[in-house]
Amino acid sequence: MEQGLIQKPSEAPRAVDAAAGPSTYHPSMPQIIQHPVVVSSANRDDVPSAQHLSTTYTDDLCYPVSNIADIAANIMVPNKFRLRARVKAIFPRNPPTGTPPMANYICFFCKKCERPYVYVLQPISSRTLTTRDNAKTCHGCKDTILAEAELRYRFIAILEQNDNSLTVLISDRQADEFLPPLPPLSPTNNPNDLKKIENRTREANEKVEQILLGAMMDGQRSRPVIDWTVECYAVKNGKKGAKGEVVVYSVFGMKSS
């Protein structure tokens, strides 16, 4: 644990904020170190934050809002931050190669092998689907009937603040906290069942775009300002032949209203 970053309750009296509702203080959430108490007005956007989705860490004194430039300059890893930003774009984390598929922010996850595998959404007019066609079988256990599979959110969002942007992962349990529940799966390779999964996935994808990018207005997404919490941590560089670690940013601690 990063002892130096954790602010004890006795050191920082909480702001009284009736609108904040029940206690939002989480002692396990470290602070960004640049501005431990003072909330800079320069970090704020004049536009109010979205109401439909926000961080659960809403106390401005305990969890000051950082800007993307602060976060990029931070050298302490792991760390956690709060920021207000619009979503510039979202896209699948592991897009399959070949024909561009429909945007799919959801993957199959093999519970046995604990690994995701790509789930390719076909255009609606495509031929009858089979598991072999529309999803790559889990490479680990060769499961072709979804016996070990569940659906999980797994995608990348570009958060945008003035001229700065931050690429973040939105996935797994952290995504489940604020995105619509995904349908449970049971073992099948029946084309009708697969079609149903496909349709539910399609609906969930549309909701993801609606929630993160906002409603369509005059042909453009409204892209609301969202109050986020993001954590950074180091992972092994997964690129072939690459050495060392890369810092990944991942959304956590969010709720929908």
Residues within the interface to Zn ion (CB under 5 A): 110, 112-113, 138, 140-141
Minimum distance from CB of 152 to Zn ion (Å)?
14
Half-sphere exposure (CA, 13 Å, Cβ side) for 186? 1
**SS3 state at 84:** strand
Q: Nearer to Zn ion by C-beta: 4 or 140?
A: 140
Structure tokens at 94: 């592991």
| Element housing 247 (H / E) | strand 245-251
- Is the Cβ–Cβ distance between 194 and 130 less than 8 Å? yes
Minimum distance from CB of 131 to Zn ion (Å)?
13
Q: Nearer to Zn ion by C-beta: 117 or 228?
A: 117
Q: Nearer to Zn ion by C-beta: 189 or 250?
A: 189
Minimum distance from CB of 194 to Zn ion (Å)?
18
Identify the residue whose tokens are 């969202």: 226
Query: Which class for 60: exposed (0-12), middle (13-18), buried (19 or more C-beta within 10 A)?
Result: middle
Minimum distance from CB of 138 to Zn ion (Å)?
3
Q: Nearer to Zn ion by C-beta: 113 or 120?
A: 113
Minimum distance from CB of 193 to Zn ion (Å)?
19
Q: Nearer to Zn ion by C-beta: 138 or 194?
A: 138
Structure tokens at 163: 């001229």
